[in-house]
């Protein structure tokens, strides 16, 4: 299979913003792919070379990649830079350089550019390490690009710099796999997906492995997948509400309240192969937490288990819990890890147990999982690994008392968890079985939301050279779109202004991304990748913003009034930002309260 087939498909995918069209383009691609290549095709389509936790990362520096492009295209670095400026991104600039007029140099030994060759070369590029690695990478890329036509070069370059960004939601790929390999060809599906592939993906989120299996064996291929120690399970997520009575009503009068720690969520896998730690984005973070690994090895020796924890930094002198930012000192750190382990000792609060010694607990009710968790942890109340603080709640007073206790213990609030029937662990899903209630929710809408930066406005006066404001968007998961919801211009500290400028200016786009919905035109559009936590005064109807557009009133969206930046959320990707339907819910609750 030629890589050009993929490149042409990517071009077609980017020409549409309709989810079903995207799905059907993928279905055609998958049906036309040799089954043995399906894994590679799917990884490449996601812009990766394997599942996230295997850590084989591309995302090479643009400078290095530019060198390889300039050498291959036979143009100067300056000419390439001018092309990047003109075309808007390195991929398009490469395409233009490769397609430029004038005679094209051919080679004595032309090799054809197959999917296998691209995948294997990129894997080599990602694996290169040690001295001279920059040179080796440039040479490997040059050899690959030499055989590339302009369109293939565009997408190879974007893949290499880690910016393929086809705007396809994982769910769209899963549904395409289902349609391509599990639905009978003549079957008219009016109802759409029955989510069988998604169910497997939620507990075994290796899209390439699943694709390979269904392409080769159809439905039978899915039977081989299940929960597995060493493969992260997609996290269950919580909805949000603003008061105890609302929560109890949703939960049928009875539920568990648990401290909502202001820490970092970690999924730990313990087994004969050692301890593996995964972030909520399913990246392997084992090496950043040697102390956690050690504590787990001794606490769970002889067991095989998958558990979820909130890692919180505490002050060993006072026992006081410190805010989230303190944990993030540890993230991505290579140097000085030993010091930071000492300076920021962690307590791990276990809150769920998904698998224990050969038994999948995922489908058990919450109480049973909790009992199993407590008996596994024993009475380790003072050690670094403790069960989360939890109380069974049946009336609003009991709930409010517990909420206040949580706040005074340094937590953000509580998470309510459903009990009884239907309270199993819903991997990868956000539902009303878990509801978070944070202290910010109490007064009006002083609620924080996590929004994606999609555009920038130039600053003036004191802010000359920085940004005056940012255009922020929420995520519409059903449509796969980003919907603008406010212009954010306050709450920045000076150093944050500079940091934002440094982060965002290299990601400026030539035109608005196809999946952005907004009635406003910022000075510059940027790659939608940075998430900021934003506090607003209330949610209002808006003629210019497109959040939940038309849901409440025709040609009207929702906006957040008086938005103020709280902090950067580097731990969250745009797909984890607050959704438009969450904001719509906030608006409706606000209305109810006003009544």
Partner 1 sequence: MFKARLKGDVLKEMIKVVSTLVDEVKLNITGEGITLKAVDPAHVAMVDLSLNKEAFEELEATDCELGVDIDKIKEVLSLAKAGDILDIDHDEEHNKLVVHIENITRHMSLVDTMGMSDPKMPQLNLPANIKLAAAELNQGIKASESISNHIALVANADGFELSSQGDTDSVSLKLRKDLLLHLECSEPVRSLFSLDYFANMIRSVPSSGVVTLAIGQDYPAMMTFEIAEGNGSVTYLLAPRIENE
- The catalytic site residues sit at 260
Which range, of 102-110, 224-232, 411-419, 457-465, touches partner 1 by CB under 8 A?
Answer: 102-110
User: Measuring CA to CA, how many Å separate 175 from each of 168, 180, 340?
Assistant: 11, 8, 44
Which range, of 96-104, 275-283, 458-466, 575-583, touches partner 1 by CB under 8 A?
Answer: 96-104
Minimum gap (Å) between residue 47 Cβ and partner 1 = 28
Written as six digits, the tokens of 466 are 């920085």
Which range, of 98-106, 114-122, 161-169, 525-533, touches partner 1 by CB under 8 A?
Answer: 98-106
Closest CA to 56 of 266, 283, 290, 225: 283
Q: Would you give the binding string for partner 1 spanning residues 143-162, x where CB under 8 A is met?
A: ---x----------------
Of positions 104, 189, 254, 329, contacts partner 1 by CB under 8 A: 104
Minimum gap (Å) between residue 173 Cβ and partner 1 = 36
Minimum gap (Å) between residue 63 Cβ and partner 1 = 20
Written as six digits, the tokens of 590 are 């606000």
**Which residues, at least 6 apart from 380, have a Cβ–Cβ distance to it below 8 Å?**
299, 386
CA distance 491 to 497: 10
Contacting partner 1 within 3-42 (CB under 8 A): none
Query: Using the rule CB under 8 A, is 101 a contact of partner 1?
Result: yes
Contacting partner 1 within 388-447 (CB under 8 A): none
Contacting partner 1 within 283-342 (CB under 8 A): none
Of positions 63, 78, 105, 421, contacts partner 1 by CB under 8 A: 105
In terms of CB distance, is 63 or 101 closer to partner 1? 101
Written as six digits, the tokens of 81 are 């830079």
Q: If you write DSSP's letter for every residue of 234-292 in order, what string do you get?
A: PPPEEEE-S-HHHHHHHTTT-EEEEEE-SSEEEEEEEETTEEEEE-TT--B-GGG-HHH
User: Measuring CA to CA, how many Å separate 70 from each of 66, 75, 76?
Assistant: 6, 5, 6
Query: Using the rule CB under 8 A, is 106 a contact of partner 1?
Result: yes
In terms of CB distance, is 67 or 276 closer to partner 1? 67
**CA 59 from centre of chain:** 16
In terms of CB distance, is 103 or 272 closer to partner 1? 103
Which range, of 103-111, 176-184, 350-358, 437-445, touches partner 1 by CB under 8 A?
Answer: 103-111
In terms of CB distance, is 101 or 592 closer to partner 1? 101
Give me the helix-helix angle, 90-99 and 150-160, nearest 10°. 150
Minimum gap (Å) between residue 138 Cβ and partner 1 = 10
Minimum gap (Å) between residue 99 Cβ and partner 1 = 9
Of positions 63, 78, 108, 592, contacts partner 1 by CB under 8 A: 108
Minimum gap (Å) between residue 146 Cβ and partner 1 = 6
Of positions 14, 16, 134, 142, contacts partner 1 by CB under 8 A: 142
Q: If you write DSSP's letter for every residue of 176-232 in order, what string do you get?
A: HHHHHHTS-TT---SS----HHHHHHHHS--HHHHHHHHHHHTHHHHTT----TTSP
Q: How are beta strands 516-517 and 481-488 bridged, if at all?
A: parallel
User: Measuring CA to CA, how many Å separate 78 from each of 63, 75, 84, 131, 145?
Assistant: 12, 8, 10, 27, 19
In terms of CB distance, is 146 or 414 closer to partner 1? 146
Query: Using the rule CB under 8 A, is 493 a contact of partner 1?
Result: no
Minimum gap (Å) between residue 103 Cβ and partner 1 = 4
**CA 53 from centre of chain:** 13
Query: Using the rule CB under 8 A, is 213 a contact of partner 1?
Result: no
Of positions 63, 78, 109, 490, contacts partner 1 by CB under 8 A: 109
Site size toward partner 1, by CB under 8 A: 14
Minimum gap (Å) between residue 105 Cβ and partner 1 = 5
DSSP assigned state of 35: G
Which range, of 100-108, 215-223, 339-347, 409-417, touches partner 1 by CB under 8 A?
Answer: 100-108
Query: Using the rule CB under 8 A, is 139 a contact of partner 1?
Result: yes
Contacting partner 1 within 66-95 (CB under 8 A): 71-72
In terms of CB distance, is 74 or 420 closer to partner 1? 74
In terms of CB distance, is 102 or 554 closer to partner 1? 102
Minimum gap (Å) between residue 89 Cβ and partner 1 = 24
Ranges assigned E (strand) in 294-395: 305-313, 346-356, 359-360, 385-387, 390-393
CA distance 573 to 294: 29
Cβ atoms 293, 277 nearer than 8 A:
yes
**3-state secondary structure at position 519:** coil
CA 468, 329, 463 angle in degrees (round to 5)? 15
* Residues in contact with partner 1 by the rule CB under 8 A: 71-72, 101-109, 139, 142, 146
């Amino acid at each position: 299979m030629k890589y050009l087939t993929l490149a042409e498909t990517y071009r077609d995918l980017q020409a549409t913003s309709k989810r079903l069209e995207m799905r059907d383009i993928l279905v055609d691609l998958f049906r036309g792919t040799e089954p043995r290549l399906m894994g590679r095709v799917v990884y490449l389509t996601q812009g990766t070379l394997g599942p996230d936790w295997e850590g084989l990362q591309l995302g090479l520096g643009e400078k290095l990649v530019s060198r390889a492009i300039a050498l291959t295209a036979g143009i100067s670095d300056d000419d390439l830079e001018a092309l990047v400026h003109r075309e808007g991104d390195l991929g398009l600039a490469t395409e233009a350089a490769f397609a430029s007029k004038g005679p094209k140099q051919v080679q004595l030994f032309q090799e054809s550019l197959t999917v296998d060759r691209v995948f294997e070369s990129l894997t080599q590029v990602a694996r290169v390490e040690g001295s001279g690695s920059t040179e080796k990478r440039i040479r490997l890329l040059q050899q690959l690009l030499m055989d590339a036509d302009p369109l293939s070069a565009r997408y190879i370059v974007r893949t290499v710099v880690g910016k393929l960004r086809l705007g396809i939601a994982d769910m769209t790929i899963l549904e395409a796999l289902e349609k391509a390999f599990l639905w009978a060809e003549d079957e008219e599906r009016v109802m759409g997906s029955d989510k069988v592939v998604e169910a497997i993906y939620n507990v075994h989120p290796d899209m390439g492995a699943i694709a390979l299996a269904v392409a080769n064996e159809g439905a039978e291929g899915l039977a081989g997948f299940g929960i597995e120690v060493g493969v992260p399970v997609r996290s269950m997520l919580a909805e949000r509400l603003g008061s105890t009575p609302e929560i109890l009503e949703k939960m049928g009068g009875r539920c568990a309240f648990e401290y909502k720690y202001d820490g970092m969520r970690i999924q730990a896998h313990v087994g004969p192969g050692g301890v593996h730690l995964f972030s909520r984005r399913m990246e392997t973070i084992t090496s950043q937490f040697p102390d956690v690994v050690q504590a787990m090895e001794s606490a769970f020796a002889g067991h095989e288990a998958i558990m979820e924890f909130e890692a919180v930094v505490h002050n060993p002198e006072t026992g006081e819990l410190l805010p989230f930012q303190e944990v993030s000192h540890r993230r991505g750190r290579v140097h000085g890890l030993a010091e930071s382990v000492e300076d920021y000792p962690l307590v791990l609060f276990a809150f769920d147990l998904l698998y224990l010694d050969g038994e999948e607990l995922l489908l058990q009710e919450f109480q049973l999982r909790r009992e199993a968790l407590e008996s596994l942890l024993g009475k380790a109340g003072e050690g670094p690994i403790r069960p989360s603080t939890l109380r069974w709640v049946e009336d609003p007073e009991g709930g409010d008392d517990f909420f206040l206790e949580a706040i005074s213990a340094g937590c953000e609030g509580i998470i309510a968890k459903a009990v009884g029937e239907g309270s199993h662990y819903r991997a990868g899903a956000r539902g009303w079985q878990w509801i978070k209630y944070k202290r910010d929710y109490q007064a009006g809408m002083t609620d924080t939301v996590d929004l994606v930066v999609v555009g920038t406005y130039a600053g003036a006066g004191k802010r000359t050279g920085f940004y005056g404001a940012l255009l922020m968007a929420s995520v519409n998961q059903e449509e796969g779109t980003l919907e603008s919801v406010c212009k954010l211009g306050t709450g920045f500290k000076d150093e944050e202004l500079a940091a934002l400028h440094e982060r965002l200016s290299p990601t400026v786009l030539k035109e608005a991304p196809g999946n952005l919905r907004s009635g406003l035109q910022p000075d510059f559009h940027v790659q939608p990748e940075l998430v900021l936590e934003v506090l607003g005064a209330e949610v209002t109807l808006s003629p210019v913003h497109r959040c939940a557009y038309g849901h409440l009133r025709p040609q009207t969206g929702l906006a957040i009034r008086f938005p103020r930046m709280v902090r950067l959320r580097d731990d969250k990707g745009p797909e984890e930002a607050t959704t438009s339907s969450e904001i719509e819910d906030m608006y409706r609750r606000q209305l109810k309260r006003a009544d």
